[in-house]
Amino acid sequence: MQVLLSLVSLVVFSVAPTVAVPPYGQCGGSGYNGSKDCDPGSTCVKLNDWYSQCQPGASGPTSVPTTTSTITTTTSITTTSTTTTTATAPATSIPAGALTRLSASFGSNPSNVAIYIYKPSNVNTNPGLLLALHGCGGTAQQYFSGSGFKQLADQRGFIIIYGSAANDQNCWDVTRAASLKHDGGSDSLGLANAVRYAITEWGINRDKVFVTGTSSGAMMTNVMTAVYPDIFKGGAVFAGVAMSCLSKGNAPVFPADPCAAGSVNRTPQQWGDLVRGAYPGYAGGYPKLQLWHGTSDPILNYTNLNEEVKQWTNVHSISQTAVSTSAGVPKSNWSKSVYGAGQVESYTGQGSGHGLPESGTEVSAIDFFGL
């Protein structure tokens, strides 16, 4: 009888209702094992293969369809650091064709960012490097499988570092003072040190080091290019906000952060000063930026694109007026604007939402980088 009661208790426990996900929380995606039911008043919206989010505006709870995605088996590598700046290129310690976690010490990593490497089988000698950053709630593995950068690395022979955030609901630190200062600490320092390690140890071409990301990863792309202009030559920002725009923390909040809602409006000079203040005394050049945003983005208002344009055109001392605009680039609903001599590009997606990059658009960023 006692065994029977135990079994009944187990069954009752196993069918207990799952906890509903609050607005703007994750409700699905490749590798996600949590609840897929949203609070009443929200519905689970698939943004891409690796991330679905509860968004207000529809009756719930609603469950996200199951998605299937293949992730390369992850292994770990440990390498012995040397004092030389020239390695046996290209990155012989990294297995080719697999997503590999870096277990070697690569310098200060105060927020425990996890670093994963992808080296294609046909890696170039003295290869380029792309730092790729997931959105809130995501992981390196999910961004690896859900975006098209891996396939482009296979075609063109560059190496990718996928960072994986460890705090703030797996959102990147784009608000704390430490992360917004050169060598100040937090996520930005851990990522920068991983890239420095790659340059030193793996024969990376210093003139071909770039960063890209989606949503929170897009915000972090703006941070990395502002805080470490001595490392990165360019960035591609897919659905982000200007550097130092977000104010209510790194994770999504409800009601939305004023920046996310599109109500933060600064002058180009004010935006530019925030970038210049991130690395006091720096006198070198700044990375080129490619900025992407959909007009129907429900998470980060489309007006944020113009604030980013104001920020980076000011940093580059070029006009906020585009020198050219091309419709239907790279897809029929997108348009491309070029500023100055190409130091800044912006892309507007008519009707596009938050799930960027849209399939097939990643190549525009890789072409912009020259990888």
Active site residues: 215
Gap between the Cα atoms of 147 and 353, Å rounded: 16
Letter string b/e over residues 138-154, b meaning 16 or more CB atoms within 10 A of that residue's CB: bbbbbbbbbbbbbebbe
Q: Which residues on neighbouring strands pair with residue 76, listed in sequence order?
A: 101
User: Which of 339, 235, 304 lies closest to 227, judged by CA?
Assistant: 235
Where do we find the tokens 């698939």? 46
Q: How many CB atoms lie within 10 A of CB 217?
A: 30
Question: Are the CB atoms for 25 and 1 separated by under 8 Å?
Answer: no
What span, in angstroms and rounded, lies between the C-alpha atoms of 55 and 53? 6
- 293, 304 in Cβ contact below 8 A? yes
The residue whose two tokens read 């915000």 is 219
- The structure tokens listed for 163 are 């960072």
Taking phi over 0 as left and psi of -120 to 50 as alpha, with beta for the rest, 360 belongs to left
Q: Show the tokens assigned to 169.
A: 């609901």
State the Cα angle at 276 between 270 and 282, rounded to 5°: 165
Starting at the edge strand found earlier in the chain, the sheet holding 51-56 runs 26-28, 51-56, 42-48
**How far apart are the C-alpha atoms of 324 and 343, rounded to whole Å?**
13
Instruction: Decide if 98 contacts 117 (C-beta within 8 A).
Output: no
Measured in degrees and rounded to the nearest 5, phi and psi for residue 279 equal: -140, 75
